[in-house]
Amino acid sequence: MRVGVVGLGIMGGPMAMHLHRAGLLAAVYNRTRAKAEPFEKLGVYVAQSPGDLAKRVDVVIIMVSDAPDVEQVLFGPGGIVEGARPGLIVVDMSTNSPDWARRFAERLAQYGVEFLDAPVTGGQKGAVEGTLTVMVGGKEELFKRLLPVFQAFGKNIVYVGPVGYGQAMKLVNQVVAALNTVAMVEGLRLAKALGLDMDKVVQVLTGGAARSGSIELYLPKLLKGDLTPGFKAAHLKKDLSYVMELANRASLSLPATALALELYKKMVEKGLGELGIHALGEIY
């Protein structure tokens, strides 16, 4: 199975490297060619466009920022459909929404191209260590065929239902991750104000009922003053915007999520969107 990766950023780069180690990576493409150079040195073909990449592979993985970026990669000038042939499988592993996933699947079907939405969670650490959780929506037989691909960089791989369900599951994950991060940041602010020993705070938060993915991934970075992103605040703001769009359409009240969205909007407005989601305390 020949796999190509479009998007070699914080997540896509490490994932592509795992695919290379598994003997599956045939081609890569990135708008900034410099990010593709490490793969070129390893003998991986660096495509001139997403369409050029599509000609050379059986499976295309897309890992870019947002739905408009995915749309451009698929259908824009030099897009995947220009090099696609019937039977090609496109896997969108970025985060957007169920609506976009279904739209992409319908348009690609006109070219005979299959589609899975398979966003991931675990942040940069999970991508580097190959321990990501992968949530896959689409045809179950396609999921089974692509399991070796997902296993190259994922540890917890879950088939969640038809097209769009992968994105739906990821948005659920993002709500919980966002609220855990808000809780962590405010808890630390309180701990500092009360003069508590931070080492003992860590001992309690990592060993008791308050422990969470945010505590495990981001608390050590926060205490070192490291605000670099494992996942960017601007991306979480984007994801929570999709959540509230769906919630409002369904007349569903999610007050805590609405608050988290406002907090991350403030981060972006203050020019802090490129920092990690754990840098939320910078706006307080």
Query: Exactly one of 35, 55, 170, 200 is catalytic; which is it?
Result: 170
Which tokens is 220 given? 């050590």
Give 38-45 contacts, CB < 8 A, sequence gap 24+.
Answer: 39/8, 44/20
Nearest to 49 by CA among 25, 66, 33, 71: 33
Nearest to 214 by CA among 173, 182, 181, 240: 181
- Between strands 59-62 and 3-6, the pairing is parallel
Q: Residues 6 or more apart from 23 whose CB is under 8 A from it? A: none
Q: 71: helix, coil or strand?
A: helix
Active site residue 200: no
Catalytic residue positions?
Answer: 170
